């Protein structure tokens, strides 16, 4: 049987956002090229830049990755490629940038923003 590089991963999407990280997930490629997927390479790119940087490598059974070292308020693109013993697939990229921020409706205080609360016992 003839082996080839895999086809690109499918349905790349951001599944979780925060001001410090995002989780991206994808589905297996349509074809593994006749050789098992050994790993996925994930890269990120600040929307104001043109070059992607390596963010994470995960094993061939893992279909998500946590992207860290993000700057709050910046927008990012992500891409993923599948790899087998023959080579690397073409990249699958997000079509729109996603902002590193707390999810909508979340109102979490930083530890430094918490008031200094003291608890005093009350006699009953």
**Residue 92 and residue 6 in contact, taking contact as beta carbons nearer than 8 Å:** no
The mean pLDDT of 25-53, rounded to a whole number, is: 97
H, E, C per residue of 54-86:
EEEEEECCCCEEEECCCCCCCEEEEEEEEECCC
The mean pLDDT of 91-104, rounded to a whole number, is: 91
Residue 79: both structure tokens together: 């891409």
CA distance 61 to 28: 9
Question: Which residues pair with residue 79 across a beta bridge?
Answer: 43, 93
Asked: is 10-103 a CATH 2.60.40.10 domain? The reply is yes
For the chain, give the mean pLDDT.
Answer: 87
Cβ-in-10-Å burial (0-12, 13-18, 19+) of 34 comes to middle
The mean pLDDT of 98-124, rounded to a whole number, is: 57
User: Whole-model pTM above 0.85?
Assistant: no
> Does 120 score more than 80 pLDDT?
no
pLDDT at 116: 45
pLDDT at 3: 85
């Amino acid at each position: 049987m003839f082996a080839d590089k895999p086809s690109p991963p499918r349905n790349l999407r951001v599944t979780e956002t925060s001001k410090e990280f995002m989780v991206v997930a994808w589905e297996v490629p349509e074809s593994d090229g006749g050789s098992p997927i050994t790993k996925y390479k994930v890269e990120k790119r600040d929307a104001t830049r043109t070059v992607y940087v390596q963010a994470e490598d995960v094993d061939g059974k893992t279909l998500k990755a946590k992207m860290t070292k993000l700057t709050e308020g910046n927008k990012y693109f992500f891409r993923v490629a599948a790899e087998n013993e023959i080579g690397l697939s073409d990249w699958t990229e997000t079509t729109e940038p996603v902002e590193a921020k707390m999810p909508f409706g979340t109102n979490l205080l930083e530890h430094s923003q918490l008031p200094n609360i003291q608890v005093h016992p009350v006699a009953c």
